[in-house]
């Protein structure tokens, strides 16, 4: 079922499980506002933009949004935008490999 601008603006997500840090809420909310603006025709997010977005983790004292719920909703957004674009140029990654967690810029060795 296609995502509407109203749904993108009013979507509520559960908190991350206790002991886990979810996505930083203000970052997710700001991105969903851009999604809504795109669906209203006032912004130009592409399927790739939605697929490639990465959110920081919530601050240590906060749980943040449940990553699985946010990722599932963004997959629906990708499908909606792909349908609106009427283009076969987009590739949507398999759901099992899809995450919007920001990767660290460094790695421990």
* Parent domain of 23: 5-90
Q: Span 16-32, mean pLDDT?
A: 95
Q: Span 26-49, mean pLDDT?
A: 95
Q: Span 17-26, mean pLDDT?
A: 93
Residue 60 lies in a domain: yes
Neighbouring residues of 5: CB distance < 8 A, sequence distance ≥ 6: 35, 36, 37, 39, 40
Q: What is the pTM of this model?
A: 0.77
Residue 10 lies in a domain: yes
Q: What is the pLDDT of residue 101?
A: 61
Q: Is 104 a residue whose pLDDT tops 70?
A: no
Residue 99 lies in a domain: no
Residue 98 lies in a domain: no
- The average confidence (pLDDT) of the chain is 84
Residue 11 lies in a domain: yes
Q: What is the pLDDT of residue 67?
A: 96
Residue 104 lies in a domain: no
Residue 95 lies in a domain: no
Q: Span 46-61, mean pLDDT?
A: 93
Residue 100 lies in a domain: no
* 8 Å CB contact between 28 and 71: no
Q: How many domains does the chain have?
A: 1
């Amino acid at each position: 079922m296609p995502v509407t601008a109203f749904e993108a603006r009013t979507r509520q997500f559960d908190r991350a499980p206790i002991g886990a840090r979810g996505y930083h809420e203000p970052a997710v909310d700001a991105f969903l506002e851009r999604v809504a603006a795109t669906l209203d025709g006032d912004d130009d997010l592409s399927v790739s933009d939605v697929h490639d977005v990465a959110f920081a983790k919530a601050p240590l004292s906060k749980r943040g949004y449940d990553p699985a719920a946010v990722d599932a909703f963004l997959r629906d957004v990708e499908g909606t935008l792909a349908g609106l674009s009427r283009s076969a140029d987009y590739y949507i990654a398999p759901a099992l490999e899809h995450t919007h967690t920001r990767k660290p810029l460094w790695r421990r060795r």
